[in-house]
């Protein structure tokens, strides 16, 4: 169990303070679990108050003793209810903010109304893009944790070979594999930031079930076991010679990596083998292009164009009208961080320290899906792999 060092927390607050000054904000008030963990080291219920100048204060409703233990911040302050905030800020000599930033992308309306009522003279604005910008750049400390996640991911993928069998259902394999991953140290919870976006552990699909689209903004959805979840492994039985795609998110010590590999029992058809090789080609193409300064959308367009040249226009990142318009996503504390390797981000560029998952996948309705995914970090000279499991098509012998 890691406790985030104070040096890390200090640097993170400083980076956000720079954003506050650029946005002419007097303070940030952050309350969401992922942001609390990033900026305080703890998710005990409360709020992280960061003035544009000076020290951050972590006000904690519950559990206060535990927040003291988990957070390295100097000011971890018990507070009984939100109404006490004004008085507590006064006690610290902090004047009430004229303009304050909150996480409008995740903050429910009633929570925002409570803060507005408490600080009626304060103008509240959205600070989510700035928070996400700060969080996108990973420190050496964060990369070390993500390397531990990648180690765990490799153990999980080695185990897949022991679990796949003709006649077993996708859901059974998921249950066994997730049980294994938990036992190896997976933290269980996986966080997504986007409203209504949910992710249980990742996806395992065999054959046709890989091509079922879902509500989620993902190339593969899956039928799942109920419309209430509407994604994930279903009760389809695995057959020989069909692609089995395993897309597993490893969560450990608060961080995530995302990895996909394609398996089969008995060899795949030449067409699917070729498609898998072509997805590796697109990955290689990305590696040759990606470096600090390249725009997220330019990287997307060039890789998408490469996929079309290879003949996958109707099959890349989903089939037909179900295709999604991205090939990769930032990852760290949440699955859907900056950067997005997608259209619409021409003014955003890759920077050293960013980490993202890149997941070229080809979907063939009636047949299934093949693809590969790794988590990458942006270094000065280009991108480096964090996840490292063997990238061959894992064609297991047919018993």
Applying the rule CB under 8 A, the residues between 190 and 219 that interact with a second copy are: 195-196, 198, 200-201, 212-215, 217
Sole binder of a second copy in the list 8, 15, 45, 298 (CB under 8 A)? 45
By CB under 8 A, tell whether 167 contacts a second copy: no
Sole binder of a second copy in the list 118, 151, 180, 388 (CB under 8 A)? 180
CA angle 280, 389, 173 (to 5 degrees): 100
Sole binder of a second copy in the list 139, 273, 302, 322 (CB under 8 A)? 322
By CB under 8 A, tell whether 148 contacts a second copy: no
Note whether 343 and 325 are within 8 A (CB): yes
Residues 361-380 that bind a second copy (CB under 8 A): none
Least distance from a second copy to the Cβ atom of residue 21, Å: 23
**151 or 351: CB nearest a second copy:** 151
Count of residues near a second copy by CB under 8 A: 71
- Nearest CA among 97, 95, 88, 89 for reference residue 25: 97
Q: Which two tokens stand for residue 69?
A: 């233990």
**45 or 385: CB nearest a second copy:** 45
Residues 85-144 that bind a second copy (CB under 8 A): 102, 104-113, 126, 128
Sole binder of a second copy in the list 167, 226, 397, 399 (CB under 8 A)? 226
Other Cβ atoms less than 10 A from the Cβ of 15: the count is 16
**252 or 300: CB nearest a second copy:** 252
- Nearest CA among 332, 328, 258, 259 for reference residue 297: 328
| Beta pairing class for 99-102 and 123-126 | parallel
Sole binder of a second copy in the list 252, 304, 345, 356 (CB under 8 A)? 252
Note whether 95 and 121 are within 8 A (CB): no
Least distance from a second copy to the Cβ atom of residue 255, Å: 8
**106 or 150: CB nearest a second copy:** 106
**177 or 386: CB nearest a second copy:** 177
**128 or 386: CB nearest a second copy:** 128
Q: Please tell me whether the peptide bond between 322 and the residue prior to it is cis, using omega within 30 degrees of 0.
A: no
CA distances to 63, 170, 180, 357, 381 from 187, in Å: 20, 22, 12, 19, 33
Residues 275-304 that bind a second copy (CB under 8 A): none
By CB under 8 A, tell whether 62 contacts a second copy: yes
Least distance from a second copy to the Cβ atom of residue 102, Å: 8
Biggest alpha carbon distance in the chain?
Answer: 73
End-to-end CA distance of the chain: 41
**32 or 283: CB nearest a second copy:** 32
**Burial label, 389 (beta-carbon count in 10 A; 0-12, 13-18, 19+):** buried
In 3-state terms, what secondary structure has residue 61? strand
CA distance 227 to 274: 34
Q: Which stretch binds a second copy (CB under 8 A): 153-161, 173-181, 364-372, 375-383?
A: 173-181
């Amino acid at each position: 169990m890691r406790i985030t060092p104070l040096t890390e927390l200090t640097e993170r607050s400083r980076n956000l303070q720079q954003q506050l000054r650029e946005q002419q904000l007097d303070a940030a008030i952050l309350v969401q679990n992922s942001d609390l963990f990033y900026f305080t080291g703890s998710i005990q219920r409360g709020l992280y108050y960061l003035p544009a100048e000076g020290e951050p204060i972590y006000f904690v409703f519950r559990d206060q003793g535990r927040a003291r233990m988990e957070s390295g911040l100097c000011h971890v302050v018990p507070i009984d209810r939100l109404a006490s905030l004004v008085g507590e800020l006064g006690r610290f000599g902090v004047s009430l903010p004229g303009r304050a930033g909150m996480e409008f992308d995740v903050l429910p309306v009633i929570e925002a109304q409570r803060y507005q009522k408490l600080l009626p003279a304060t103008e509240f604005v959205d600070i989510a893009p700035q928070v996400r910008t700060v969080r996108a750049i990973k420190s050496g400390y964060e990369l070390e944790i993500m390397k531990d996640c990648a180690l765990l991911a490799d153990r999980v993928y080695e185990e897949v070979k022991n679990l796949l069998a003709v006649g077993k259902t996708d859901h059974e394999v998921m249950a066994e594999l997730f049980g294994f991953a938990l036992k190896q140290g997976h933290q269980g919870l996986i966080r997504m930031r986007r409203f209504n976006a949910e992710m249980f552990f990742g996806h395992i699909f065999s054959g046709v079930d890989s091509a079922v689209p879902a509500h989620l903004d993902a190339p593969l959805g899956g039928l799942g076991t109920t419309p209430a979840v509407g994604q994930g492994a279903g009760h389809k039985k695995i057959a020989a010679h069909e692609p089995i795609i395993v897309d597993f998110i490893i969560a450990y010590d608060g961080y995530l990596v995302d990895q996909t590999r394609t398996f089969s029992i008995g060899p795949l058809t030449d067409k699917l083998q070729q498609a898998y090789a072509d997805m590796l080609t697109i990955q290689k193409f990305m590696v040759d292009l990606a470096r600090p300064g390249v725009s997220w959308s330019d990287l997307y367009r060039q890789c998408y164009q490469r996929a079309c040249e290879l003949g996958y226009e109707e099959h890349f990142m989903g089939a037909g009208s179900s295709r999604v318009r991205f090939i990769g996503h930032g990852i760290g504390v949440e699955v859907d961080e900056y950067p997005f390797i997608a259209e619409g981000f021409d003014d955003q560029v890759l920077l050293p320290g960013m980490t993202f998952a890149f997941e070229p996948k080809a979907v063939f309705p009636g047949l299934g899906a093949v693809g590969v995914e790794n988590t990458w970090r942006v270094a000065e000279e280009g991108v480096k792999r964090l996840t490292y499991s063997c990238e061959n098509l894992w064609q297991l012998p047919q018993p």
